[in-house]
Structure 1
Amino acid sequence: MPCALLTLTACAPLASQQAEYPAGRARLALPAGAWEDLGTSDQAVRLLPQPDGRIALQSRVLGLRGAQQELLAVLRVQTNRGNDWQGPMFWTGSCLPQQGVAVEDATKGSRVRVDCLRFKRWVDGPQWLEKNQPDFARWLLGRKLAVSAPYSYMSYRYATEGGAMVAVDVLADQRLLRPRTRNNEEFLVAGRPALQWGHELAQAVRVSTGMMDGYLAIPPFPYAAAAP
């Protein structure tokens, strides 16, 4: 008999249910895979217009392991520590163009909102991350963590005038985001699945800021990483 029709017997959770982790006010629901919790940290970010304005944030980092325990992806989610943010907030310089990075600014340079997606298709070593995301690079180095190279970098920032804020950074083995290519035509369009994944991630983040429990369902990567 289907579980929904049983009123007196508790139902066991399904194997396909997503693992969940708290991150500040957010409730992260992860896609299927061998995820491991790499820890949390708290931050207090200074913001205008208040001279001594602060916004309390919390980050959680999770890693995805492959069949040989290799690190396929690292996901960092940073969001408000609680639901007690107070606006208005001003956000400046949040979505600047960058050479070699696909940048989409849905707010057209707004100072009171952030809606910024960034995608670096090819990162072949730690130097780029050290230059562009030094705090993230130091965090990984301090824990002796390295994603299989070459990998891609995706980030999404969303913030409102009222003070809601979510930032997601992803380092992912390229096999998770790009199909195998056999010719120039396939190579030229190989980045489309990754950008589509980024758009799905962005939509999930936007939805989460309107949820009391901050439910944030991370979409599954476009591809499963096959053995090298």
Structure 2
Amino acid sequence: MAAPPDTASPTTPAPPGRRSHTTRNRTLTGLVCGLLVLAVLGYAGLRLHHRLNTIDLPQTNTAPQGGYTLTVYFTPSEAYYHSPQRSIRDQICAGQNLPTSFPTDYLERVALEGFGKTARGDYLGWDFDRHCYFATRTPPVGSHENALVPWKSVAANHLSPGTRIRVTDCGPGVPAEICTRVKSAQWRVDDLCSIGCDDAKHLDLYIGEQTRAAIEDEDFYFVTKGATIQASTPEELR
């Protein structure tokens, strides 16, 4: 659309080397409009980027790869920990209002797993960046603030968020019944592995909230090396 003709009354030409007020105002108006357009386009781009990372995208299957280490992680429950209390007064994140002490072994487990359920029914979280504890009523979330889903969410440091994982061989040491469940699950990369995942071929499988004591003695709490997986990577994230 062509710009309308200028109907303003004539003005005295500006001295050489200076712009007239009319020209300067038009320039400023153009700059403001340009910035607004860029802002709108940038916001639209962010919205599109968010959609591409949150909707189901076309998947590209990769060839099965062996030599993977599989471990599991869970959300500990304070109800199953009874060691002496330890003060966290100096480790509470700024602005938080929560009890100043918890069982020592419970705190150690929360600092390892990332979240724990408290006796009050809310959750105690550990901020790996700031090294402090915080309280939340929201169940455990992954590295992108997405809810962790038992027997579906995977923590990994070498695969894009949203990558789907199928375990085709559990490797040695996993009971047959548990291996069947692992292989039939529809795993998805929802989290980063913060501790003990230096090996690029390491997947940490989330198995949910703790429902019994001595969970480490259960068959579903395992470590296995030599597993084989197949990844389906969203094409837009490749």
State TM-score, norm by structure 2.
0.24
- More relative contact order, 1 or 2 (CA 8 Å, 6+ apart): 2
Greater fraction helix: 2
